[in-house]
A and B are shown apart, each in its own frame.
Chain A
Amino acid sequence: GQQVMQIPQYQHVQEGEDFTTYCNSSTTLSNIQWYKQRPGGHPVFLIQLVKSGEVKKQKRLTFQFGEAKKNSSLHITATQTTDVGTYFCAGKFGNEKLTFGTGTRLTIIP
């Protein structure tokens, strides 16, 4: 079946440093969504990207969708302790269901 890979699996950063997670698919995606799951919590929707090359920002978070619509990234500037959690991308292939990436777990060193 279709797979969505995410790297890195884990990331430990000092508070104030930047963080980036990458999402890759071998086939073209119709859209990609990003979710954040806090420790012990459930996934919460962050954003959806649909257009080739699309870039969206939410305060310190910047989301990009690749030109070929096969990859995406989430970049957090100047991380804070509240950014702790696991970030999942979820890709949609055509009219198929969402396929979740493997996730990147972010921990912050105060």
Chain B
Amino acid sequence: GAVVSQHPSRVICKSGTSVKIECRSLDFQATTMFWYRQFPKKSLMLMATSNEGSKATYEQGVEKDKFLINHASLTLSTLTVTSAHPEDSSFYICSAGSVSYEQYFGPGTRLTVT
């Protein structure tokens, strides 16, 4: 199957700082990528749909100014958590692929805000 990478895999940052997470599709072009958040032992919550060359579509309750998404190319989408707080600590996972068929997930980024 297709390969999606994420970087970094783990990050610890101080409260008030911003963190950027990269999601790359390594062997295919992804016009659409998805960003999820997963709490421990919980399901995946879709945060936003990242569209190449246009603005991301955010789910209800997700602050667009807090979670900045940029999809500048067909192989790269970035999620920036701005002014991070401890409650933003979570596992962030991106995926790429058609909603009509399988999604390929990245390995995830574990964010800890101290």
Listed in ascending order, the chain A residues whose CB lies under 8 Å from chain B are 1, 31, 33, 35, 41-45, 48, 88, 92, 95, 97-103, 105
Contacts and interface: CB of A to CB of B under 8 A. Distances in A.
Nearest to A9: B41
9 contacts: A35-B105, A42-B93, A42-B106, A43-B95, A44-B105, A45-B104, A48-B101, A100-B45, A101-B43
A41 B45 CA distance: 16
The SS class assigned to the B binding surface is loop
A41 B105 CA distance: 10
Nearest to B94: A42
A33 B102 contact: yes
Contacts of A92: 99-100
Contacts of A99: 46
Interface string B81-114: 0000000000001010001111111111000000
Nearest to A33: B102
Contact of A42 (B41, B42, B101, B108): B108
B102 A43 contact: no
Contacts of A98: 46, 99, 103
A14 B101 CA distance: 33
A88 B44 contact: yes
Interface in B21-70: 34, 36, 41-46, 49, 60
A45 B1 CA distance: 9
A89 to B, nearest CB: 10
Nearest to B106: A42
Contacts of A48: 101-102
A42 B43 contact: no
Given A1-B60, A98-B99, A103 B105 contact: no
A97 B49 contact: yes
A100 B1 CA distance: 21
Contacts of A31: 100
Nearest to B104: A45
Of the listed residues B1, B103, B107, the one surrounded by the most CB atoms of chain A closer than 10 A to its CB is B103
